[in-house]
């Protein structure tokens, strides 16, 4: 009965929308297929500045990069009260990891391995977006990436498709909630479909090339999960895959995404992507480019103005048919209806949004849980109320803490490390020593002076926020500028005094010597607006670290791409046999594997067992905390499947779970997985390293 009612509603809706389309001029239709950028944030070339007249005339039907209750209301009012057909605007913005309240960068947040937390931050971001008058966000970013040279790995959920899929579901639910028309819901836009994370040599905007098997196994699953979770929009990547630009990829957009995965929502291009089909060399002019994108099923042209300028000619040249334009317009109008915009275009954006005590509390909690304790020799951490020398260019750098793309967050709302430590009541003296990325070493001497009467030296080092993110690829993954020189000087001067490194970055860094010389290393990534408090919470032991790296850390750039899901190869490494797979100048293993992250507990896993459970298997493992402090352990479940004739990865992630345990307590983690066909081995453990895994053959 319920199903019938919904279908009836859908039919009525389509008829209503068809009636609207029948009244539209070609220019009005193309307006609905156009999204133009305002300049509240600049995320690409501003080639077509928004004119209110264009909205009034129906020539522009959607905007990005404008936010705030006042401005969005004013612009929506022009569309709804002054344009001929009174069609409301889609108003979109990138709230990748928060809107006003900035949470940790996605790569860091992935390391919580906690779908409820992933959903909670998306929910709050959606509430803030809606408060800011937006109805769409260009998130979640779902590009699996195994290449830390690529700056956008910062925006991604890391190297693994299972994690990416869980992230996709949680984020889609969080942004859209159960009711897309809700005053606190926005349309999610999963991006960038597909395989952008496998870009050649990690160089931004380069090509991608891979087998169909790899595409389906690694890069497609998060998008499948987003579609299954009901994501309302998807953004094709800028890149070309196997020689076909994604913006014009009929097979992957039409056959795979729309037909096979069943995506019925709106495809929004990336910024200027249709015009870039000319640079790709697949279109001779804007009309051809527009036709290629439309034929691939792309609905909204973001910032190329190719549909408005090119499609009229494409129609004349019979490159496209009016029905194809109408189909795209229909999908856009259906989304506007689903968002409740026809019923009440002003339902969002009713009040001004700001960072609140409540949103800060969530940012602090998630921020602290995203920190990954890479090393902690002799349990130097947590700190026991010492006098601290806080050295390094990232100690007093609140403005860097939001990472490369902190939505509408303001740098003055972000708490740096120095402030966080001071607020925690620690005695702190500070000198930057060097800047983040210059060769000037003149400040090192005065920084070293501070080390003399400190109990512990805290080195705050790493990348500037804008060294990762879009258009921020790096070929060297060491510390930028003269920071390694500063660190070496501090290690010399410290003479055995504890040196704790807090390392900021939008990617794993290849810093083996820094790690080996430091007593403790905390990977902070970019933790968001509560960075300083979150870091102080972990350093002082108020919070036991629980973050796990969602991506492998290389020892050297030459190991990249490095990831745990490798296939065995015919000559797996054997130290006694030269003719086996290895480097002659570096180990095969990563500096830190996927899943690595220490806690203040001391965990032991035992009694790994598997029971049949319908079509699946239930896996249980006991976890005991032998340490003196309460802590949270993360358990990963991996599969190695043997298939006749086809190689399979040595480890495939099939589940993860967490358990918080006080000292001397024990509990059980239970996970489920579909029953594998044929011979297989299951593994559980705290990270993707064979030496730390328990195994069972099934």
- Asked if 271 touches ligand NOJ (CB under 6 A), the answer is yes
Say which residues have a Cβ less than 8 Å from residue 63's Cβ, sequence separation at least 6: 35, 36, 37, 38, 50, 55, 75, 89, 90, 91, 92
Minimum CB distance to ligand NOJ, residue 273 (Å): 9
C-alpha distances in Å from residue 80, one per residue of 137, 301, 341, 347, 350? 21, 21, 10, 13, 16
Minimum CB distance to ligand NOJ, residue 92 (Å): 8
How far apart (Å, rounded) are the C-alpha atoms in residues 84 and 221? 42
- Asked if 636 touches ligand NOJ (CB under 6 A), the answer is no
**Identity of the residue, 138 or 263, whose beta carbon is nearer to ligand NOJ in the bound complex:** 138
Half-sphere exposure of 116 toward its Cβ, with a 13 Å CA cutoff? 4
Provide the CA 249 distance to its chain's centre, in angstroms. Answer: 24
Catalytic residue among 270, 301, 305, 537: 270
**Identity of the residue, 24 or 273, whose beta carbon is nearer to ligand NOJ in the bound complex:** 273
Minimum CB distance to ligand NOJ, residue 243 (Å): 21
Tell me how many degrees the CA angle 361-362-368 measures, rounded to the nearest 5.
Answer: 90
Q: Which of 28, 94, 288, 463 binds ligand NOJ (CB under 6 A)?
A: 94
Minimum CB distance to ligand NOJ, residue 67 (Å): 12
**Identity of the residue, 64 or 257, whose beta carbon is nearer to ligand NOJ in the bound complex:** 64
Contact code string over 413-442 relative to ligand NOJ, x by CB under 6 A: ------------------------------
Per the annotation, the verdict on 270 as an active-site residue is: yes
Hey, CA dihedral for 306, 309, 312, 313, is it positive or negative? Answer: negative
Contact 597, 371 (CB under 8 A): no
**Identity of the residue, 109 or 470, whose beta carbon is nearer to ligand NOJ in the bound complex:** 470
Nearest position to ligand NOJ, beta carbon: 43
- Asked if 263 touches ligand NOJ (CB under 6 A), the answer is no
- Asked if 40 touches ligand NOJ (CB under 6 A), the answer is no
**Identity of the residue, 67 or 342, whose beta carbon is nearer to ligand NOJ in the bound complex:** 67
How far apart (Å, rounded) are the C-alpha atoms in residues 219 and 241? 12
Contact code string over 52-81 relative to ligand NOJ, x by CB under 6 A: ------------x-----------------
How far apart (Å, rounded) are the C-alpha atoms in residues 147 and 158? 9
Contact 74, 338 (CB under 8 A): no
Contact 686, 605 (CB under 8 A): yes
**Which letter does DSSP use for residue 219 in this model?**
I
Q: Which of 28, 109, 270, 530 binds ligand NOJ (CB under 6 A)?
A: 270
- Asked if 204 touches ligand NOJ (CB under 6 A), the answer is no
Applying the rule CB under 6 A, the residues between 440 and 479 that interact with ligand NOJ are 470
What would you report as the CA-atom Rg of the chain, rounded to the nearest whole angstrom?
26
- Asked if 43 touches ligand NOJ (CB under 6 A), the answer is yes
Minimum CB distance to ligand NOJ, residue 489 (Å): 39
Half-sphere exposure of 348 toward its Cβ, with a 13 Å CA cutoff? 35
**Identity of the residue, 127 or 276, whose beta carbon is nearer to ligand NOJ in the bound complex:** 276
Minimum CB distance to ligand NOJ, residue 43 (Å): 3
**Identity of the residue, 148 or 404, whose beta carbon is nearer to ligand NOJ in the bound complex:** 404
- Asked if 128 touches ligand NOJ (CB under 6 A), the answer is no
How far apart (Å, rounded) are the C-alpha atoms in residues 282 and 221? 28
**Identity of the residue, 248 or 489, whose beta carbon is nearer to ligand NOJ in the bound complex:** 248
SS (H, E, C) 355-388: CCHHHHHHHHHHHHHHCEEEEEHHHCCCCCCCEE
| 342 CB neighbour count, 10 Å cutoff | 19
Longest dimension (CA), the chain: 80
Q: Which of 171, 173, 191, 519 binds ligand NOJ (CB under 6 A)?
A: 191
**Identity of the residue, 134 or 424, whose beta carbon is nearer to ligand NOJ in the bound complex:** 134
Minimum CB distance to ligand NOJ, residue 242 (Å): 20
- Asked if 299 touches ligand NOJ (CB under 6 A), the answer is no
Minimum CB distance to ligand NOJ, residue 405 (Å): 8
- Asked if 249 touches ligand NOJ (CB under 6 A), the answer is no
Find the helix or strand (DSSP H, E) in which 213 lies: helix 212-214
Minimum CB distance to ligand NOJ, residue 463 (Å): 20
- Asked if 143 touches ligand NOJ (CB under 6 A), the answer is no
Minimum CB distance to ligand NOJ, residue 154 (Å): 12
**Identity of the residue, 176 or 549, whose beta carbon is nearer to ligand NOJ in the bound complex:** 176
Say which residues have a Cβ less than 8 Å from residue 206's Cβ, sequence separation at least 6: 199, 200, 239
Paired sense of beta strands 499-504 and 387-391, if any: unpaired
- Asked if 288 touches ligand NOJ (CB under 6 A), the answer is no
- Asked if 34 touches ligand NOJ (CB under 6 A), the answer is no
Hey, CA dihedral for 466, 467, 468, 469, is it positive or negative? Answer: positive
Number of residues lying near ligand NOJ (CB under 6 A): 9
Contact 93, 138 (CB under 8 A): yes
- Asked if 223 touches ligand NOJ (CB under 6 A), the answer is no
**Which letter does DSSP use for residue 547 in this model?**
-
The position carrying tokens 């509390």 is: 361
Q: Which of 67, 113, 138, 603 binds ligand NOJ (CB under 6 A)?
A: 138
Q: Given the rule CB under 6 A, which residues bind ligand NOJ?
A: 43-44, 64, 94, 138, 191, 270-271, 470
Which positions are annotated as active-site residues? 270
């Amino acid at each position: 009965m319920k199903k019938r009612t919904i279908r009836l509603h859908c039919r009525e809706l389509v008829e209503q929308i068809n009636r609207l389309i029948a009244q539209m001029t070609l220019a009005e239709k193309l307006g609905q297929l156009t999204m133009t950028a305002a300049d509240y944030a600049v995320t690409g070339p501003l080639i077509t500045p928004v004119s209110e007249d264009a909205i009034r005339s129906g020539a522009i039907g959607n905007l990005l990069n404008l936010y705030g209750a006042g401005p969005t209301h004013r612009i929506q009012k022009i569309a709804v009260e002054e344009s001929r057909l009174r069609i409301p605007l889609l108003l979109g913005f990138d709230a990748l990891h928060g809107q006003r309240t900035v949470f940790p960068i996605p790569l860091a947040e992935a390391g919580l391995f906690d779908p409820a937390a992933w959903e909670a931050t998306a929910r709050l971001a959606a509430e803030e977006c809606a408060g800011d008058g937006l109805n769409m966000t260009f998130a979640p970013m779902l590009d699996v990436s195994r290449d830390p040279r690529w700056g956008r790995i910062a925006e991604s959920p890391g190297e693994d498709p299972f994690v990416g899929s869980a992230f996709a579901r949680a984020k889609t639910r969080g942004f859209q909630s159960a009711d897309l028309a809700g005053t606190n819901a926005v349309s999610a836009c999963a991006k960038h479909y597909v395989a952008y994370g496998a870009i050649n040599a990690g160089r931004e905007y380069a090509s991608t090339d891979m087998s169909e098997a790899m595409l389906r196994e690694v890069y497609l699953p998060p998008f499948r999960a987003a579609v299954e979770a009901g994501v309302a929009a998807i953004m094709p990547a800028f890149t070309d895959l196997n020689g076909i630009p994604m913006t014009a990829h009929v097979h992957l957009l039409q056959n795979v995404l729309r037909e096979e995965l069943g995506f019925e929502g709106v495809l929004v291009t990336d910024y200027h992507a249709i015009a870039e089909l000319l640079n790709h060399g697949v279109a001779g002019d804007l009309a051809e480019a527009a036709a290629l994108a439309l034929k691939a099923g792309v609905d909204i042209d973001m910032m190329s103005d190719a549909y408005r300028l090119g499609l009229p000619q494409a129609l004349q040249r019979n490159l496209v048919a009016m029905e194809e334009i109408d189909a795209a317009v229909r999908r856009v109008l259906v989304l506007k209806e689903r968002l409740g915009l026809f019923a009440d275009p002003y339902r969002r954006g009713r009040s001004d949004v700001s960072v609140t005590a409540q949103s800060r509390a969530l940012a602090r909690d998630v921020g602290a849980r995203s920190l990954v304790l890479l090393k902690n020799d002799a349990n130097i951490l947590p700190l026991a109320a010492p006098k601290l020398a806080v050295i390094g260019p990232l100690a007093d750098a609140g403005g860097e803490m939001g990472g490369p793309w902190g939505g509408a967050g303001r740098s003055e709302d972000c708490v740096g490390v120095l402030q966080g430590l001071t607020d925690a009541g620690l005695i702190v003296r500070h000198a930057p020593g060097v800047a983040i990325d210059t060769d000037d070493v003149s400040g090192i001497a005065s920084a070293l002076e501070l080390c003399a009467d400190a109990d512990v030296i805290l080195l705050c080092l790493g990348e500037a926020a804008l060294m990762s993110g879009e258009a921020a690829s790096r070929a060297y993954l060491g510390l930028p500028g003269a920071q390694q020189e500063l660190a070496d000087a501090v290690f010399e001067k410290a003479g055995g005094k504890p040196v704790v490194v807090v390392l900021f970055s939008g990617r794993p860094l290849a810093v083996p010597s820094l790690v080996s010389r430091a007593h403790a290393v905390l990977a902070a990534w970019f933790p968001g607006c509560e960075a300083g408090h979150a870091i102080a919470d972990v350093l002082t032991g108020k919070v036991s670290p629980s973050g796990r790296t969602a991506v492998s850390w290389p020892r050297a750039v030459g190991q990249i791409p490095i990831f745990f899901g490798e296939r065995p190869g015919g000559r797996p490494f054997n130290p006694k046999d030269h003719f086996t797979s290895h480097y002659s100048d570096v180990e095969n293993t990563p500096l830190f594997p996927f899943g690595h992250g220490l806690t203040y507990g001391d965990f032991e896993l035992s009694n790994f067992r598997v029971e049949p459970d319908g079509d699946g298997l239930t896996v249980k493992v006991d976890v005991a905390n032998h340490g003196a402090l309460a802590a949270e352990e993360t358990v990963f479940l991996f599969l190695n499947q043997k298939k006749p004739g086809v190689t399979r990865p040595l480890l495939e992630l099939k589940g993860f779970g967490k358990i918080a345990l006080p000292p001397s307590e024990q509990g059980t983690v239970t996970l489920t997985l579909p029953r594998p066909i044929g011979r297989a081995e299951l593994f559980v453990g705290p990270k993707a390293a064979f030496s730390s895994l328990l195994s069972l053959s099934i």
